[in-house]
């Protein structure tokens, strides 16, 4: 199924692969998605919606097995403080529901911050904009498509 995210990549001439998986509404975690599509969690990225006190809404893209470092994100974005956007606001801001948020073809062109762990990856996976489908592409192409700023914005998850 072609999503708006896939159509965006088509328009940019970026090569990608769609990978579908069975959705478990009780577990929408990116780590579960990694298991379901058979990729290491370090290659499956989640997109989180945050808001800075100076520059507003932004998207943070980090490995599924990592936690967002809000202080590091604030430093990188030029904010004094960054907070996660409440889940009830995510769809109205992005056009996507939890488990399907992507920086590709988002409702608005928010600034995108990609964790530095993506840089060396030949293949990474991100949501295609719907639950049950991931887009596989190179990290370099993803950064180009989203005009992402790359920086260290994550820390290892405490559940590792």
Taking the C-alpha atoms of residue 93 and residue 138, their distance in angstroms, rounded to an integer, is: 26
User: Going residue by residue through the chain (160 aa), what tens digit of pLDDT does each one get?
Assistant: 799 999 999 999 999 999 999 999 999 998 999 999 999 999 999 999 999 999 999 999 999 999 999 999 999 999 999 999 999 999 999 999 999 999 999 999 999 999 999 999 999 999 999 999 999 999 999 999 999 999 999 998 765 4
Distance between start and end Cα atoms, the chain? 33
160 in any annotated domain: no
pLDDT at 157: 79
Let me know: does 77 contact 58? Beta carbons within 8 Å.
yes
8 in any annotated domain: yes
138 in any annotated domain: yes
pLDDT at 129: 96
Enclosing domain of residue 142: 4-155
By three-state DSSP, how is residue 57 classified? strand
135 in any annotated domain: yes
pLDDT at 96: 96
Taking the C-alpha atoms of residue 74 and residue 54, their distance in angstroms, rounded to an integer, is: 10
109 in any annotated domain: yes
12 in any annotated domain: yes
Closest CA to 64 of 109, 28, 12, 105: 28
149 in any annotated domain: yes
- Cut 0.75: pTM above it: yes
pLDDT at 81: 97
14 in any annotated domain: yes
Domains of the chain: total: 1
Closest CA to 130 of 84, 91, 83: 91
The domain that holds 98 is classified in CATH as: 3.90.960.10
């Amino acid at each position: 199924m072609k999503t708006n995210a896939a159509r965006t990549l088509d328009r940019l001439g970026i090569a990608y692969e769609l990978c579908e998986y069975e959705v478990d509404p009780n577990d929408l975690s990116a780590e579960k998605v990694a298991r379901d599509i058979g990729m290491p969690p370090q290659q499956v990225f989640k997109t989180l919606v945050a808001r800075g006190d100076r520059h507003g809404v932004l998207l943070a893209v980090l490995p599924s097995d990592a936690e967002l470092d809000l202080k590091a994100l604030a430093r990188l974005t030029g904010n004094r403080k960054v907070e996660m956007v409440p889940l009830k606001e995510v769809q109205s801001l992005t056009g996507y529901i939890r488990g399907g948020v992507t920086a590709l073809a988002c409702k608005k062109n928010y600034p995108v911050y990609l964790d530095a762990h993506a840089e060396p990856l030949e293949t990474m996976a991100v949501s295609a904009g719907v639950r049950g489908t991931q887009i596989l592409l190179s990290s370099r192409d993803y950064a180009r498509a989203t005009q992402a700023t790359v920086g260290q914005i994550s820390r290892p998850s405490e559940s590792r």
